[in-house]
Amino acid sequence: NVKLANPLAALSYQMEGIDPHNLTMPPAPTFASEEIAGEMVELYWQALTRDVPFTHYGNEALTTAAIADLQAFTRFATVNPGTLFRGDTPGDLVGPYLSQFLYLPVPYGPMTIEQRYRVPVAGDDHMVDYLEWLAIQDGADPEQGNQIETTPLYLRNGRDLGEWVHQDFTYQAYLNAALILNSFGRSALDEGNPYKEMPNQSGFTTLGAPDLLSLVANIACLSLKAAWAQKWLFHRRLRPEVFAGRIHNHLTDAATYPIHDKLFAAQVLEEVAGRYDGYLLPQAYPEGSPTHPSYPAGHAVIAGACTTILKAFYDESFVLPNPQVAADDGLSLVAYRGHQNLTVGGELNKLAANIALGRDAAGVHWRSDSIEGLFLGETVALGVLADLALTYVEEFPGFQLTRFDGTTVTIHRE
């Protein structure tokens, strides 16, 4: 009953920015590598800790065990409570786990939207029964859906975040961020925007809100074309739920696979087997993964592209006022008591990582799908910004922003 997700889109081309077939990215970790074994251990722990509040990471038994388990792998050797399940970009490790752009109210025309969402109940995991798992692999529809909380909540744990990226539309997070940033007025605009200090004009059709909002929407689709070319034409990487099925069959002597030995020494396998009587990866979504290859993550590529656009239009050093975090029960927001300033640039980077890695928390993507997807999306956006800069008649120095690797880039009109 389930169809493949648009493989023909991998052959599409575009005239804005860089054509998808001229883009490259590193190969995904191989099946037998230590890297994929480490990523799989992380995914098991993310599944087991879905109901642990972000504010409790490292202060309770499950996440403490996750940190110790992950430190055996090269990729995660330095993981600690402040870096567990987080991204690597500038700003990711500053302040609360979730970006302020997932907490702050969104000005939406004549109304304001509070960011409270319908999320699944605790323990609502799926595809841990082998026959159910196999039926989903064969294209069957799930027999039941998620059980949803009756009260909308602020996002406070991995399960909530996983559901956010289950139900969102492509550029929703970045439209919200743009509307929030626009509410701060000229003071939040990038220093290179000529209208920031212009006494008798303001930006609108060019270098103003309509310009930005249409660009955020458009870049989402352009970045998906790049992602689809990589997914279908080059990498065709298996999903985590499939790899977990290989682990299950290997450990139950149903088959033999070249899986790295370090994975079998991980404590998390005992934890999963003790809770679910098997080694399948508990899925947050009843239907499991989407029906397109895993690498790169589409959410991550969109995140990389859209946040790059936002960083080009807004002052990355602007400090967000009155930062908030969700209470542990998700019913309210409380003031963030940390001493670090939360800036636009850092919180946009964190937003990108939250959305990308939220799919990992749900069990449908690997860390490398997400991290490398951010870089691919950034490249797509930089190409579009280079074309866009040529169309302006205003005198301005170009778009300047900080890349995900921490370096700065200026896109000049010339």
User: How far, in Å, are 2, 116, 310 from residue 171 at the CA level?
Assistant: 25, 18, 12
Q: Which of 126, 248, 292, 365 is catalytic?
A: 292
Q: 10 Å Cβ neighbour count for 178? A: 24
As a whole number of angstroms, the distance between CA 248 and CA 242 comes to 10
Q: Which of 299, 339, 365, 412 is catalytic?
A: 299
User: How far, in Å, are 103, 111, 264, 332, 385 from residue 151 at the CA level?
Assistant: 17, 21, 40, 12, 41
Token pair of 365, please?
């993507």
Query: For the chain, first and last CA: distance in Å?
Result: 52
Beta carbons of 282 and 127 less than 8 angstroms apart: yes
* Amino acid found at 204: F
Contacts of 202 (CB under 8 A, 6+ apart): 186, 195, 208
As a whole number of angstroms, the distance between CA 85 and CA 66 comes to 10
User: How far, in Å, are 31, 50, 299, 368, 395 from residue 376 at the CA level?
Assistant: 22, 28, 11, 12, 30
Is 292 an annotated catalytic residue?
yes
Beta carbons of 84 and 58 less than 8 angstroms apart: yes
Is 299 an annotated catalytic residue?
yes
Phi, psi of 183 (to 5 degrees): -70, -15
Provide the annotated active-site residues. Answer: 292, 299
